[in-house]
Structure 1
Amino acid sequence: MIKNVHGNTLDHLGEAIVAGRYGAGLAIPPEPMLCVELGVSRTVVREAVKSLVAKGLLSTGPKVGTKVLPSEQWNWFDPDVVVWQSKAGLTREFLRDLQELRRVVEPAAVRMAAERATPGDIAEIETAFAGMKRAVEEGGDYVTHDLRFHQGLLRACRNRMIVQMSKALGALLRTSFEISTTRKDGPRNSLPLHRAVLDAVIARNPVQAERAILVLIDGARDDIEEVLATRKRLPRLNVPARHLPAGLRAA
């Protein structure tokens, strides 16, 4: 997607902050300097700053200027913030926080999904699983279907708060899935684990559904740890999801 001037300016400043170019507690350059550096108008800079304030990266006030806030105050559910972090480099701390969040949210949501999912919910998750299987067998975009599978489970719990969270969790979940697909046979090996979750939801068995999603989450954690140990280059989320090559037949 081609971004407009505002989007490009927002990305430039957001990436600079997340990468540490402007440290926490320090002021970003004044408007005139940013206008010259970025080749944009004051209006564009001001709109970008407003967006960064809304995302929790900056604070503004009379006589104190525009300062960078500590990372603890950033909105980590904002997809832009997650993408900027992926460009700056996915840290162990970030990935640990992601895995812990998944372990807190997804098992509870899947338990509820096993009790509340409608036929329409299950059909959507089945469609996502079919897309994952097709990507493994014939090549294609596995990650997008994987993301739809998990977001479908979160929606199926029929809790409005968690449904809203599923939208915000999208970029975070994609981080995990992108890393898992870098492992040899990772997507192929994960298919039966996803199937076990879906089958438990269809069977209306919340206990089994929770156990199955925990196996899946812990497997993703192991994938991440292995990739980190090999010091392979981690994926970036500002590019399209990596497509699997054809010919990886599912077991």
Structure 2
Amino acid sequence: MTRQVLADPFGIPHASVGDAVPPRARGTKLGINVVQQIVNDIVRGVLNPGSTLPPEADLCDQFGVSRTVIRESVKVVQEKGLVRIEHGRGTQVTDPRQWNLLDDVVLTAIIAHDANLSFLDELVATRTALEADMAAAAATSYTGEDRLRISASLELMRSKIDNVAEFAAADAHFHDMVMAASRNRLGRAIVNSIHDKARGSMRYHGEYNEAVMRQTLDEHQAIHDAILTKDPVGAAAAMRAHITGSWSRRRPPVDSEASASARRQSR
């Protein structure tokens, strides 16, 4: 009997009807959990720079996984810059200056354990510099389609003033449309990467209310107007004022003891 072979709309054949679909490897999920935990332990100071990771056997017991999973997980952590595998000397935790801060797992962990908010301050400063520059570029290079998209994204924000979650999403979309109009692909990718991770932290995005949203809308209007009147200096200034002002308004107070502890760990 001829077996029926299924194909998707692009003509790529799938498994035949009746064929068993192999189960997804369980080790992959286990490895992800191990990587995340090791990264978190390093970032929050449980494992300090210069220290050595526990032996493989101890890590197997700790995580309840095989030596293969541990070895592959440690290799992934090494690729992120947090450890260095040295034969005969074990696996050593590296200096934070060697960490890949744009890696999703590392960035998420650093933000989660940023006790004194110093990293979020740096993130905002980096975002401000990049977005101000891109706003200026957008003011000199936007197309007719860019103009429509930027204006439409502002109107979307205005229409969502009564819905906090949708307003926040529209806010992020406005910024993305400005960055797209700048034609700075790398800057846009960096900002979207760091901003997406930061927005997952309550300490970063704070709480919205009607007064905050209306002020935010006014600030976006100023950015919009400067860009569409081809004023690069004004566009950069409006973007800078918005991002730094917004962060200063929502930046939470920092516990002095936690801040001192975080500074000691970062040395």
TM value normalised by structure 1: 0.77
**2:162 is paired with a residue of what secondary structure?**
helix
The letter for the 1-side match of 2:242 is: L
Q: Distance in 2 between matches of 1:199 and 1:46?
A: 55
Partner SS state of residue 228, structure 1: coil
Matched, 1:149 2:174: yes
Deviation larger for 96-105 or 121-130: 121-130
Q: Distance in 1 between matches of 2:29 and 2:38?
A: 14
What residue is the counterpart of 1:41 in the other structure? 66
Deviation at 1:176, TM superposition (A): 8.3
Structure 2 residue runs of 5 or longer lacking an equivalent are: 1-27, 257-267
Which of 186, 197, 220 is the aligned partner of 1:161?
186
Residues in 1 aligned to 2:56 and 2:140: alpha-carbon distance in whole angstroms: 54
Say which SS state the counterpart of residue 91 (structure 2) adopts.
Answer: strand
Percent identical across equivalent pairs?
28
Q: How does 1:100-249 map to 2 (within 5 A)?
A: 100-171=125-196, 174=199, 179-182=204-207, 184=209, 185-225=211-251, 227-228=252-253
Distance in 2 between the 1:213 and 1:176 partners?
22
The answer on 1:86 being equivalent to 2:116 is: no
- The CA deviation at 1:123 is 4.4
Amino acid at match of 1:207: V
Amino acid of the residue matched to residue 7 of structure 1? I
Please point out which of 39, 42, 47 is paired with 1:17. Answer: 42
Q: Structure 1: give runs of 5+ residues left out of the alignment.
A: 232-251
* Distance of aligned partners of 1:171 and 1:135 in 2 relative to their CA distance in 1, 3 Å threshold: same
Deviation string 1:128-154 (CA, Å, 9 cap, x unpaired) is 444544443234244443333323333
More moved, 212-221 vs 173-182 = 173-182
SS in 2 for 1:75: coil
Measure, in 2, the Cα distance between the counterparts of 1:220 and 1:27: 41
Q: Comparing 35-44 with 177-186, which one deviates more in the overlay?
A: 177-186
Residues 218 and 139 of structure 1: CA distance in aligned 2, closer, same or farther (over 3 Å) = closer
Query: Which range moves more in the overlay, 200-209 or 14-23?
Result: 200-209
Where 1:96 maps in the other structure, the secondary structure is helix
Which of the pair has more CA radius of gyration?
Answer: 2
Secondary structure of the residue aligned to 1:140 is helix
User: Are the aligned partners of 2:130 and 2:191 in contact in 1 as well (CA < 8 Å)?
Assistant: no
- Calculate the TM-score normalised by the size of structure 2: 0.73
Offset of residue 177 of structure 1:
8.6
Give the residue type in structure 1 aligned to 2:38.
L
Q: Which has the higher contact order (CA 8 A, sep 6+)?
A: 1
For 2:255 and 2:86, locate their aligned partners in 1 and report how far apart those are by CA, in whole Å. Answer: 45
Shift of 1:230: 8.7
> Cα offset for 1:196?
1.6
Aligned twin of 1:77:
102
- Aligned partner letter, 2:220: H
1:172 Cα offset (Å): 5.4
Amino acid at match of 2:48: G
The answer as to whether partners of 1:151 and 1:166 remain within 8 angstroms in 2 is no
Q: Which deviates more from structure 2 when the two are superposed, residues 141-150 or residues 213-222?
A: 141-150
